[in-house]
Structure 1
């Protein structure tokens, strides 16, 4: 199948969650042997209008990120010329959805809109229009599905498809030394690591060790807080780690704590839960993390530091695991096949589901 991915910006322009999501999906299809073409602003040097990189063809529809108008005007015709079987377009920025949809009309190909929602969703007229231009909308969580419906999308046009993980990779790493609690995220203003630290401080009289994975502008602040709470001797700030290193930590840990205030999909938490961790989520209105633990006997949802502390204690009664097959439906092969089924159904139905 020839799949056209449209994103004015890519991971080669900015390493954002939205761009990583699209790159992950297109690489899954590339690895299965599909013909992948990406239509974006040019990010490479020279006058070539397209390049091949790691088995993916990139079309520079415009030169650089300043030529937005040129990108919109040229995109429908460049898309149609490649005769794709399906067009998969990102919602950032919304105007490109219209141009991609027009290209789909010219090419007689259905259009799938990937609406990841990182950074929220604007309430202007263009997001509302984008919600109606695609044949199908894909979001990573029920949280984002709600946001998209609030922008005018029909509930029947939305599919919730999670970020994928590699379950076989989880199984093959060796566990690190055991710790009771692990937290993993970029340490920025939304990390809300203080909630976990306050909960751990309430458990000073108990035996525990915790690991914080990640780095960021607030790391020094959190290190000072740990010292002020007199729990720094039981905390390890591991910094940025490779995926392999993080999986080793998760397989050795008993609990993964998610306290971040903003999260459209908790990918690191998913890796940790698949690696056997008990999941504890502090509920926040702009986080979808609680969706992973609802109705699960190894998951806890909390709303305060006291509840979080109690959950850590109660999690100690659950067996330690190094893999949990409950999360195999999130494996990358399953997620890829869900997209593929959607594409083929749209083709067979003429873009109508």
Structure 2
């Protein structure tokens, strides 16, 4: 299948969650042998209009990020000439959705809109207009799906597809040191690590060890809080770790605690609970993390530090695991199949199969 991805920005311009998600989808489909093309602003040196990298062919529709108008004007005709089977466009900027729709109309091919929602979903004239252009809208969680519906999207067009993990990779990594509780996230203003530290402080008369994975501008603030709470001797701040190091840490840990204020999809929590951790999610209105643990016998949803402390205690009664096959549906191959099934359904609806 020849798939045209459209995103003015790429992870090579800005390393954001939205751009990482789009790149991951491209990589998944390229791994499955499909012909993947990304139409974007150029980011490579030289005068070539295309650039091949990791199985993806990038096409410079404009020469750089300063040429957005040129990108939008040229895009419909470039897509029509490419004659793809499916066009898959990112939601930022929303003006590129309209341009991609014109391209899909000229090419007589379905249009899929990827709306990741990192940073929220702005309610503007452009975003409202963009919701009516695609044949399907894909979001990473029900939370983002709700945001998109609230600005006017047809709910029947919205489909949830999660971020993927690699189950084989989890099984191949040796478990790390055993700890009772682990937390992983960039330590910025949205980390809300204080909820976990306060809950652990309530359990200071119990025997436990905790590890915090990640770095960021608020790290020293959290280290000082752990000291003030007199639990710094049992909380290890491990800093940033590579993925395999994080997987090893998750396989050795018993509980993964997710307390961040904002999270469109809890990717690290998914890696951790697939690696055997009991999952505890503190509910926040702008976080989808609770979606992973609802209805699961090794998951807890909490709303306060007291409930979080109680959940940590209750989790101690559950067996320690180093892998949980319940999450095989989140594997890279399964997520790739979700997208391919979606593309084929839309092609069939358009009479293209």
Offset, 1:172: 1.1
1:245 aligns with 2:245: yes
Q: Distance in 2 between matches of 1:217 and 1:109?
A: 46
1:134 aligns with 2:134: yes
Matches of residues 156-195 of structure 1 in structure 2 within 5 Å?
156-195=156-195
Offset, 1:351: 8.0
Matches of residues 14-93 of structure 1 in structure 2 within 5 Å?
14-93=14-93
Counterpart of 2:298 in structure 1 is 298
Counterpart of 2:217 in structure 1 is 217
User: Which runs of no fewer than 5 residues in structure 2 stay unpaired?
Assistant: none
Counterpart of 1:264 in structure 2 is 264
Runs of 4+ displaced beyond 6 Å: none
Which stretch shows the higher mean deviation, 162-171 or 51-60? 51-60
TM-score scaled by length of structure 2: 0.98
* Structure 2 residue matching 1:232: 3-state secondary structure: coil
- Deviations along 1:212-256, one digit per CA (max 9) or x if unpaired, are 001111111111111111111101111111110000000000000
* Structure 2 residue matching 1:247: 3-state secondary structure: helix
Contact kept, 8 Å, 2:27 with 2:54, in 1: the verdict is: no
Q: Distance in 1 between matches of 2:276 and 2:41?
A: 41
* Structure 2 residue matching 1:118: 3-state secondary structure: coil
Counterpart of 2:279 in structure 1 is 279
Q: Distance in 2 between matches of 1:220 and 1:67?
A: 41
Question: What's the C-alpha RMSD, in Å, of the aligned pairs?
Answer: 1.0
TM-score scaled by length of structure 1: 0.98
Q: Distance in 1 between matches of 2:170 and 2:55?
A: 26
Q: Distance in 2 between matches of 1:204 and 1:51?
A: 56
- Deviations along 1:146-202, one digit per CA (max 9) or x if unpaired, are 000001111110110000111111111110010000000000000000000000001
Q: Distance in 1 between matches of 2:279 and 2:55?
A: 37
Contact kept, 8 Å, 1:182 with 1:253, in 2: the verdict is: yes
Q: Distance in 2 between matches of 1:114 and 1:83?
A: 20
Q: Distance in 2 between matches of 1:277 and 1:52?
A: 39
* Structure 2 residue matching 1:122: 3-state secondary structure: coil
Q: Distance in 1 between matches of 2:304 and 2:351?
A: 46
- Deviations along 1:311-347, one digit per CA (max 9) or x if unpaired, are 1001000000011111111111111001001101111
Q: Distance in 1 between matches of 2:341 and 2:204?
A: 51
1:322 aligns with 2:317: no
Offset, 1:24: 0.5
